[in-house]
Structure 1
């Protein structure tokens, strides 16, 4: 009896253990199901907005190519300027400099003044901006013109002491700050088209001055591409061959460019690299 009772007790204990194991397993499954439900809720009610945020995160930060330049109104050395009115139906080079009465900026703005006639030939206007006030700009212009006699600063320089405009124009240098800890502008330059959209941007750190010949070349390339619906190859200069975009078929190219075109003979056998001349 005792032996039978002991055996029954063992069986009862095993059955209890199995039942307990099942309860624990079911509890774990319930916990997993609850966790899964929480994850689903999190996905639909939290992750969906986060996905939108992620999309905006991977997008280019701030004003960039293809964006419409903000229609800001600022004081300048030529009085109040509203950017869209200033652009009108022309191209504008909108450029920032880190600060008045600084060495590299002085050489740059003197060069801008020296190239003003070249830009004017191309129907391009110049518009500067920094965080210094208008009076500072006016006083500094005397130094600029003295540094390069004959290079008169005839273009306006806008003042943005609040630093709000340079943020909207994506011209903030993340590393350079003034004595009060305020961010300074970078050496940014946007070429803005008649449609008020950014066509091309250059961005330099404060320690590197811009190359004005390259700015002129970029303007020429943009205007040539817009006028003839072509692209310009590496190191292109006016008068040199341009590239026919790949979206234009050979038949279309023959109609569009009656002067003819040359197709590069490449190992791939693909005729995507085509050159032509435009007036």
Structure 2
């Protein structure tokens, strides 16, 4: 069996709300035990195809710029590829000196994980056989404090990820995680949120009759909660 056929046979992509697979691996910050080292935290796993590639460099550089914003949301970042630790360190050295888009470089304070045996990549379905590559695709896994996968995205090798959008998704997930709230199209933090709607028009009329100024609706099934009270 050739390598592509083996990857195809082994491919198992986790699903939403599944418990995130556990692993132990070497990283640029030492041995990393997942999820034990991230107890009680939100976390994001980013996979990327290879060190010293242009799109990946722009992505990891941008993540370094945004570290403070993710820290404010009590969220830990980790990055994984099938490159070795020496490669990761050499790449970091270049990125931490890179001036890009008119901005100064930032220190990379999150771990880059080495998965040379592809074990973790297979656990998370990060290698897609029809891309005709043994390299990881650009994956994103947002995982909640209870270690369940709340968001999954895969990008082709030619398309860089929008880190602002990933940050927006994280904000939305944190807002809706414990409350019965929904975020509408193009929602950004501070805007009004949707609520779980009434089951029918009669329930909607009963809800409306309470004259609660905290809520408003466009029809019987599209109800919003005012976020700026």
Larger helix fraction of residues: 1
In structure 1, C-alpha distance between the alignment counterparts of 2:207 and 2:146, rounded to whole Å = 27
Deviations 1:168-199 (A, max 9, x none): 0111132142xxxxx11000000000010100
Give the Å deviation of 1:251.
Answer: 9.0
Give the Å deviation of 1:81.
Answer: 0.5
Give the Å deviation of 1:234.
Answer: 0.4
Q: Which runs of 5+ in 2 are unaligned?
A: 1-10
Which range moves more in the overlay, 62-71 or 155-164?
A: 62-71
Residue in structure 1 matched with residue 214 of structure 2 by the alignment = 260
SS in 2 for 1:141: helix
Residue in structure 1 matched with residue 150 of structure 2 by the alignment = 199
Alignment pair present for 1:75 and 2:26: yes
In structure 2, C-alpha distance between the alignment counterparts of 1:111 and 1:166, rounded to whole Å = 23
- Partner residue of 1:138 out of 89, 102, 123: 89
Residue in structure 2 matched with residue 275 of structure 1 by the alignment = 224
For 1:128-207, list aligned pairs within 5 A.
128-148=79-99, 149-174=104-129, 175-177=131-133, 183-207=134-158
* CA distance 1:126–1:247, change in 2 (3 Å): farther
SS in 1 for 2:135: strand
* CA distance 1:147–1:173, change in 2 (3 Å): farther
Residue in structure 1 matched with residue 73 of structure 2 by the alignment = 122
Aligned residue pairs: how many?
208
Q: CA RMSD in A?
A: 2.2
Residue in structure 1 matched with residue 4 of structure 2 by the alignment = none
Deviations 1:49-90 (A, max 9, x none): xxxxxxxxxxx9521211111110000001111111132101
TM-score, normalised relative to structure 1 = 0.70
Deviations 1:239-269 (A, max 9, x none): 1111111367659978xx955211113xxxx
For 1:78-117, list aligned pairs within 5 A.
78-117=29-68
* CA distance 1:73–1:136, change in 2 (3 Å): same
Work out which structure has the larger RCO, using CA pairs closer than 8 Å and 6 or more positions apart in sequence: 2
Which range moves more in the overlay, 219-228 or 98-107?
A: 219-228
In structure 2, C-alpha distance between the alignment counterparts of 1:253 and 1:226, rounded to whole Å = 24
TM-score, normalised relative to structure 2 = 0.84
Larger strand fraction of residues: 2
